[in-house]
Amino acid sequence: MNKILCFTCALILGASTITPAFAGFKEHYDLGQQYLSNYQYSGAITEFKSALRINYLDNSARIGLINSYLARGTYYANTDKNYQKAADDYRAALFYLIYYPNANQVKNSSQAIVQVTSNLNQCLNTLNFDTSAAHRYAIAKQLRAEGNFAAAAYEFNQTLSDKNLIKDSFQQTGDIMKLLGNDPKAAEYYRKAVAVAPTDIPLRLSYAKMLDKLGSEDAAVEEYNYILSKTTDNKDVLYSLERIYKRKLQEAPNDAAVTANLGAIMQKQGNFDEALRYYSKAEYLDPSNTNTRINVGTLYQQKGDYKTAITAYDSVLILNPDNAQANLYKAQSLAALGDKKGALALYKKVNTIEPDNTIAQAEMLDMVRETMTPAQFVEYVKKNSQNPADVLYTYALDLHKQNKLDDSITIYNEVIKLTPSNPEVYVNLAIAQGQKKDYDKALNTLNLANTKFPNNAQISDAIKSISSQSVDEKLEVAANYYNNKDYQNAINEYLKIQPPTKDTMLGVASAYQNLDDTDKAIEYYKKALSFAPTDSDIAYYIAALYAEKEDWVSAKAFAQKSIALNKTNKDAQELLKTVNSQNNSIALNKAIELFDAEKYDESLSIINSILASDSKYAYALYYRGMIYDTKKKYNEAIADYKKAASIDPEITIINYLIGVDYDMLEQYKNAVSYYKSFVANYTEDDDYKKYAQTRIGELKSYDK
């Protein structure tokens, strides 16, 4: 990076503008100069800032502060290589060069502004600074939070290319000017912000207070009045207005308008007696001012003294029968007294005088509505209102809020006939229909709306919501049938729900299961599984039903599927054991049939398959041993017999068979041992036992 040039003396001080009237100013200013000359830049900045806070207009203090920022910024850049701190100081210097002073002072500093801006840009380039408006705004907020107000204000003013940030940036700059004591500049930036966001009440209040502080009373009053028109008797505003008008009254004690305005302020504050005193004085000063009499009427109306209020309004109407305000307020007072006929006549008169008077129209319609049926009111509105759709829509919403669903539905439909282009009406109509549990109509309404407004998120959300409510309702009906053991009606209700879901299919399956219709139960459990293919429990239910049907092959397939989906499903694990046992029993019976038919190889193949799935199946081992015997594979037979005996000692014939096989192998000692074990445990007195006893005697010499 190129060395940044030093601008300590870039600004030449003009004639001293130090004013002794500002206590403490000179001490801070002199200290600032002393610190600056001794290269104590941070101390100089602190002192010059303090001097400016005492006298924000002093140009010499401003220039001293700028020079201090420039000197420190150059030190940070050239010596410390701390370009972030250097950038912040250049920002602060530019704030005091461009935004803080008046236009002439800015013009006189044009060359310095160009050079300091160049220095700042060099720092930012070195830092790879993101110059987007959004990022600069975030940096400005950070700088303000750190108390670096001048640098923050500079950055706020670099975000104006983004229209979404203009108001906030101007307002933030105004706040900073206020903090730094430069009230005229604060007012200027608040005014700019208000021009961008005229409906921002807190902003306008800040602007009004600043105008008030600067003595711009008329402009402040204009702002305060706007705020009052948009808020409910803001106490802060009312206090400010009271102070301004009392000061005005001191200057012009016989000003009727000022006196009347003070009365209005007191009335808004709820100080009715004081308000009446000011109104009386204003009327004395200007007897022809009807506005004062109207204000007196509104005061009594506010207090609930409607008869006295009417007297005040009548005093105006004698002079001006077509005064819209007097007629309107009198109508309100008559309505409060129960004279609806008289009030209605005056509301109509106001509408004749001021056809756009929305207050009169609304209050008249409210009054008429109370005396008519919904159908009568609809016809009345169609004939008498300039905006019947808006009036009826408001009416429908009111009925809806009161849970008068039938009436609200009727009125919503009338509104749709008048203005079919408002999607919100369709949504509210559908909501009312849904509240009546007429979900089919509600969905028809929304589907019609969806064809008219295909990209409307509100309609899409309503369709989802109503559909969900409809399903919940049908599920509840089905569940009630189910819980009351009316399974066929439960099935009928579950099947009405479209589109089908896992839960509805489970409901149907369970109901069929309770009706002992196993095939149908399996069919619908399978449909449920198609909606939730990873649900281990559903696969288990199917396996269990197949097991009930003794369809062991299918039962095994679904039990295995259940375990594959959830290895910890204990029910499925136990079922699979049972199923495997049944399958093996069936297979063994087949193998025995083949054995009896002397189809030994086929029988052996089946038994081997059985033992592959259950190596501890004693009877399979027993029969394989017998097959080995037929093939004269005595050692293999003996091994299977021994294993079978260890698993199931109740198969006592095995010891006999082992003895015979050892006998055939001429291993007589072993043969005698197993013959004896057989005889000792075998309870039947048959040929097997007799043969074993005979062989024991014949092989006696080996029994040692």
* Secondary structure class of 200 (helix, strand, coil): coil
Q: Is the pLDDT of residue 545 over 70?
A: yes
Could you tell me the two tokens for 243?
């102070």
Cα 299 to Cα 329: distance, rounded to the nearest angstrom: 11
* DSSP-derived secondary structure letter, 79: I
pLDDT of residue 278: 77
pLDDT of residue 22: 52
User: Cα 603 to chain center, whole Å?
Assistant: 69
Lowest mean pLDDT among 98-102, 215-219, 380-384, 599-603: 380-384
Tens digit of pLDDT for each residue in 362-371?
A: 787 788 777 7
Under the phi-then-psi rule, with left for phi > 0, alpha for psi from -120 to 50, and beta for the rest, what region is 245? alpha
At position 657, the amino acid (one-letter code) is L
What is the arithmetic mean of pLDDT over 505-517? 93
Q: Is the pLDDT of residue 265 over 70?
A: yes
At position 356, the amino acid (one-letter code) is D
Tens digit of pLDDT for each residue in 448-474?
A: 999 989 989 999 999 889 888 888 888
The DSSP string of 112-151 is HHHHHHHHHHHHHHHTT----HHHHHHHHHHHHHTT-HHH
Domains of the chain: 358-470 (1.25.40.10), 628-702 (1.25.40)
Contact 86, 4 (CB under 8 A): yes
What is the arithmetic mean of pLDDT over 109-129? 94
- Please write down the HEC assignment for all residues of 63-109: HHHHHHHHHHHHHHHHHHCCHHHHHHHHHHHHHHHHHCCCHHHHHHC
CA dihedral 34, 16, 115, 137 (to 10 degrees): 80
What is the arithmetic mean of pLDDT over 383-390? 80
Average pLDDT, the chain: 87
Tens digit of pLDDT for each residue in 281-299?
A: 877 787 878 888 888 888 8
Q: What share of the chain is helix, strand, coil (3-state, %, to 5)?
A: 75, 0, 25
Band (579; pLDDT cuts 50, 70, 90): confident
Cα 103 to Cα 106: distance, rounded to the nearest angstrom: 5
Could you tell me which residue, 428 or 237, shows the higher pLDDT? 428
The DSSP string of 474-486 is HHHHHHHHHHTT-
Q: Is the pLDDT of residue 192 over 90?
A: yes
Band (233; pLDDT cuts 50, 70, 90): low
Lowest mean pLDDT among 162-166, 315-319, 384-388, 464-468: 384-388
Q: Is the pLDDT of residue 3 over 70?
A: no
pLDDT of residue 197: 93
Band (487; pLDDT cuts 50, 70, 90): very high
Band (6; pLDDT cuts 50, 70, 90): very low
Contact 442, 434 (CB under 8 A): yes
Q: Is the pLDDT of residue 114 over 80?
A: yes
Round to the nearest angstrom and report the end-to-end CA distance of the chain: 110
Band (231; pLDDT cuts 50, 70, 90): confident
Cα 261 to Cα 266: distance, rounded to the nearest angstrom: 9
